[in-house]
Amino acid sequence: MKTSTKLKALLIIFFIAIFAIIISRHFVGLHFQKKFSKRPPPGVVVSVVEKSKFYKSIETFGTAIAKNSKTYRIKKEEIQGTINIENRFVKKGEAIVKLITGENIIADFEGKLGKREIAQGVLGSNSLIITLDDLKKIIIDIKVPENYVGVLKPELKAEITSSAFNKVFKGKIETISSRIDPSTRSILSRVIVDNSKFEIIPGQLMTVKIIYEETDEIGIPESAVTIQGNSAFVYVVNNETAEKKDIKIGKRNFGKVSVLSGINEGDLVISEGISKVRNKAKVKIINP
């Protein structure tokens, strides 16, 4: 009897211990579940869907040429007194050089003067070549591949850049050739560039971007778009909740993508922190 009683007591203690362990594990699990299940919503940066300029472009290059240019060749012994040429601007009809004969070399148009010495030993090396360039407008002749003939037309905008300047010059197509060059399969077009600050110098190599099919469309940063196969989507934030929206995208310019359908102007799309976001999940906007 005593042995039986002891055995029962041991069994009871054993089951009480097992029960206590189970209960403890349950409450410990609830504690950690409560502690870690309420994670703070991920921080995201949002961008407003707004209208932007989008376009297609043709990029090529060409050499800068003065709109008007003329050279004057004068013998040095015929010049009266000293001459002031370097970086000098003259108006139309102004005297460039006075000659000992009493005559003057007159500027045919307004522009900037320059001079070019003739190397020693060359026939006529006792002469001086004076140049006059009208630099208010610069001409750049470019060759455009023939497959763009359908979009080329006068007055199309052009953006002109050079490694020498940290800026974009504005221009437009002035004329287009009536023939395609069969040897290069290209068409010659003339771009005229505003150079009112006289920064571009004739002879410079310039990069020319012709702008066409320019439109106003709603756009979003490229970083906001996730592409999966042939589809694309973004996350729109409403009441601090991210909602997945399928979109149709169009042109890309300056790090932005035009959106043809799927979202509306004024919507807030997540542009940074997308990897932490899930559909219908809470988010925290942390824009600066």
Specify whether domain 43-54+217-285 bears CATH 2.40.420.20. Answer: yes
For 180-221, write each residue's pLDDT tens digit: 999 999 999 999 999 989 999 999 999 999 999 988 999 999
The domain over range 56-62+137-215 is classified in CATH as 2.40.30.170: yes
pLDDT at 84 over 90: no
202 near 65, Cβ under 8 Å? Answer: yes
**Residue whose structure tokens are 């002891």:** 6
Query: Residue 3 half-sphere exposure, CB side, CA atoms within 13 Å?
Result: 0
253 or 211, greater pLDDT: 211
Residue 33's pLDDT is: 59
- Three-state secondary-structure class, residue 259: strand
**What's domain 69-133's architecture?**
Beta Barrel (2.40)
DSSP 8-class letter at 196 = T
**pLDDT confidence bin for 1, thresholds 50/70/90:** very low
The answer to whether 217 and 261 have CB atoms below 8 angstroms apart is: no
What are the backbone angles phi and psi of residue 85, rounded to the nearest 5°?
Answer: -115, -50
pLDDT at 80 over 90: no
Average pLDDT, integer, range 256-266: 92
Domain ranges of the chain: 43-54+217-285, 56-62+137-215, 69-133
Domains 43-54+217-285 and 56-62+137-215 share a fold: no
Supply the pLDDT for residue 117: 59
Q: pTM of whole model > 0.75?
A: no
Q: What percent of the chain has pLDDT over 90?
A: 48
Question: For residue 92, with 0-12 CB atoms within 10 Å meaning exposed, 13-18 middle and 19 or more buried, which class applies?
Answer: exposed
Query: What pLDDT was estimated at residue 200?
Result: 94
Mean pLDDT of 13-30: 73
